Amino acid sequence: MDKNILDFETVSLNDEKSALVIIDQTLLPNEIKILELKTQDEIREAIYLLKVRGAPAIGVAAAIGIYLAAKENKSASFDEFYRGFKEAKNYLASSRPTAVNLFWALNRMEKIVLASKNKQIDEIKDALRREALKIRQEDISVCRKIGEFGADLLKNSCAVLTHCNAGQLATVKYGTALAPIYIGKERGYKIKVFADETRPLLQGARLTAFELSANGIDATLICDNTASQVMKNKWIDFVFVGCDRVAANGDICNKIGTSGLAVLCRYYNIPFYVCAPSSTIDMSIKTGADIPIEQRPPSEVTDLHFKNPIAPRNIKVYNPAFDVTDNSLVSALITEFGIIRTPYKENLAKLNLLNF
- 207 and 344 in a single domain? The answer is yes
Question: Given 143, 158, 181, which residue is the final one in a domain?
Answer: 143
Q: What is the pTM of this model?
A: 0.94
pLDDT of residue 307: 87
- 193 and 271 in a single domain? The answer is yes
pLDDT of residue 355: 52
pLDDT of residue 90: 97
Instruction: Print pLDDT tens along the chain (356 aa).
Output: 468 899 999 999 999 999 999 999 999 999 999 999 999 999 999 999 999 999 999 999 999 999 999 999 999 999 999 999 999 999 999 999 888 999 999 999 999 999 999 999 999 999 999 999 999 999 999 999 999 999 999 999 999 999 999 999 999 999 999 999 999 999 999 999 999 999 999 999 999 999 999 999 999 999 999 999 999 999 999 999 999 999 999 999 999 999 999 999 999 999 999 999 999 999 999 999 999 999 999 999 999 888 899 999 999 999 999 999 999 999 999 999 999 999 999 999 999 876 54
HEC assignment per residue over the chain: CCCCHHHCCCEEEECCCCEEEEECCCCCCCCCCEEEECCHHHHHHHHHCCCCCCHHHHHHHHHHHHHHHHHCCCCCCHHHHHHHHHHHHHHHHCCCCCCHHHHHHHHHHHHHHHHCCCCCHHHHHHHHHHHHHHHHHHHHHHHHHHHHHHHCCCCCCEEEEECCCCCHHHCCCCCCCCHHHHHHHHCCCCEEEEEECCCCCCHHHHHHHHHHHHCCCEEEEECHHHHHHHHHCCCCCEEEECCCEEECCCCEEEECCHHHHHHHHHHHCCCEEEECCHHHEECCCCCHHHCCCCECCCHHHHCCCCCCCCCCCCCCCCCECEEEECHHHCCEEEECCEEECCCHHHHHHCCCCCCC
Active site residues: 244
- 136 and 211 in a single domain? The answer is no
- 85 and 167 in a single domain? The answer is no
pLDDT of residue 24: 98
69 part of a folded domain: yes
Range of the domain at 325: 148-349
- 154 and 287 in a single domain? The answer is yes
- 83 and 114 in a single domain? The answer is yes
Question: Given 127, 143, 159, which residue is the final one in a domain?
Answer: 143
- 20 and 159 in a single domain? The answer is no
41 part of a folded domain: yes
Question: 305: domain CATH number?
Answer: 3.40.50.10470
- 136 and 167 in a single domain? The answer is no
356 part of a folded domain: no
- 71 and 114 in a single domain? The answer is yes
92 part of a folded domain: yes
- 192 and 54 in a single domain? The answer is no
How many domains is the chain built from? 2
